[in-house]
Each structure stands twice: as C-alpha cells, then as structure tokens.
C-alpha cells in the first residue's frame, strides 16, 4: 500500500509502518487507554500488523496514533485513536481525522464504524453520528479487564488437549 503523509507545522502524519514506535503505542494502550488497559505487547503488535496505521510525529518522536481496520471496499473500523498528553491542544486529533478521511483507500466505503465514550464532537465533524438504527446492530464484547487479565497464552473457556 502506498505511504501517505501530511505535514502540519512541526508535526507529520504518516501511514509508513516503519516509522511506528511500537514501544510508545504499547505503553499508551497498556497503561493509559481506558479501552485497552492491560493489553499484551503481542496483541498490540498483531493489531498494528493487520491495520492501516496513521502515526503522528513531532520530528522523530511519536505523538499519536489511529488504526483503521478495513476490507478497503465496503467497511472500516476506526480504533486506538490517541494523542499523547504533551502533544494535545494543538488540533492534532482533527488533523489526524482529516488524514484518515482523505486517504484514497478509504473512499467510497458503505460503513465506517467507531466506538467512543468522549469524543463525539470530534468525530461528528467528519460525518460520524450515533447509530441511527441501533436495533439493527449487534456486537459481542469481552470487557478489556476480563480479556487482558487472562494468563498469557490462555483463552477463556478453552479446552486444552494434550497428547
């Protein structure tokens, strides 16, 4: 996939996977993000590998991230959107959403979905709205505290067969 970049003053937003600082992403998602506290490094790495990531950089320093999971034809899901505290208040979240909204591989999608508890105002500026017909949507959710508190390598309710 072609790499896209946008410069905003001293900041750059890039889809170059080589620029991502996995340590920064892991530390934030594992320790700070309300939606993923306790997530393992392995899961963070796997999620990044299987997503279109938009990194936000101040020089060489990573300042934020957003991940898009998509088939690039009909559906996309936006997740793990964050700007690190010391870089907030500069409009970077809005610029990040502009980069995502204008990405050529994310045009013409029938549905672009996200979940938020506190950023409705930001996302509504880019056409997102509360689900119009919630009765048509279903989800299966395992709370982060339950999912990420499992011993490493184990799955809930898994049956282990040993020879």
Expressed as residue numbers, the domain containing 28 is 5-147
- Tokens representing residue 119 in the block: 């950023």
Output the pLDDT for position 161.
52
Euclidean distance between CA atoms 44 and 59, whole angstroms = 23
Judge whether 80 and 67 are in contact, CB under 8 Å: yes
Output the pLDDT for position 150.
60
Label the pairing between strands 11-14 and 111-114: unpaired
Residue 156 lies in a domain: no
Residue 29 lies in a domain: yes
**Angle made by CA atoms 32, 36, 42, in degrees to the nearest 5:** 105
Q: What's the structural domain count of the chain?
A: 1
Output the pLDDT for position 144.
80
The strand ranges marked E within 51-122 are 52-58, 61-70, 75-83, 111-114
What's the CATH number where 64 sits? 3.40.630.30
- Tokens representing residue 152 in the block: 């490493």
Output the pLDDT for position 115.
95
Judge whether 33 and 115 are in contact, CB under 8 Å: no
Residue 66 lies in a domain: yes
Output the pLDDT for position 158.
47
Output the pLDDT for position 155.
46
Per-residue confidence in pLDDT tens, the chain, 163 aa: 899 999 999 999 999 999 999 999 999 999 999 999 999 999 999 999 999 999 999 999 999 999 999 999 999 999 999 999 999 999 999 999 999 999 999 999 999 999 999 999 999 999 999 999 999 999 898 888 788 876 544 444 444 455 5
Residue 49 lies in a domain: yes
Sign, CA dihedral 66-67-71-75, equals: negative
Residue 98 lies in a domain: yes
Label the pairing between strands 111-114 and 75-83: parallel
Residue 73 lies in a domain: yes
Residue 159 lies in a domain: no
Output the pLDDT for position 154.
46
Residue 94 lies in a domain: yes
């Amino acid at each position: 996939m072609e790499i896209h970049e946008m410069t905003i003053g001293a900041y750059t937003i890039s889809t170059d996977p080589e620029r991502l600082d996995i340590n920064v992403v892991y530390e934030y998602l594992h320790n700070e993000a309300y939606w993923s506290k306790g997530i393992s490094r392995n899961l963070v790495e796997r999620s990044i590998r299987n997503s279109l990531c938009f990194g936000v950089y101040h020089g060489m320093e990573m300042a934020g991230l957003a991940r898009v999971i998509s088939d690039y034809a009909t559906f996309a899901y936006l997740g793990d959107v964050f700007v690190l505290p010391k870089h907030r208040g500069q409009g970077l979240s809005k610029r990040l959403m502009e980069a995502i909204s204008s990405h050529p591989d994310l045009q013409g999608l029938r549905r672009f979905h996200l979940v938020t508890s506190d950023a409705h105002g930001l996302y509504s500026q880019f056409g997102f709205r509360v689900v119009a017909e919630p009765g048509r949507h279903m989800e299966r959710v395992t709370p982060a505290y339950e999912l990420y508190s499992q011993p490493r390598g184990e799955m809930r309710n898994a049956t282990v067969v040993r020879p």
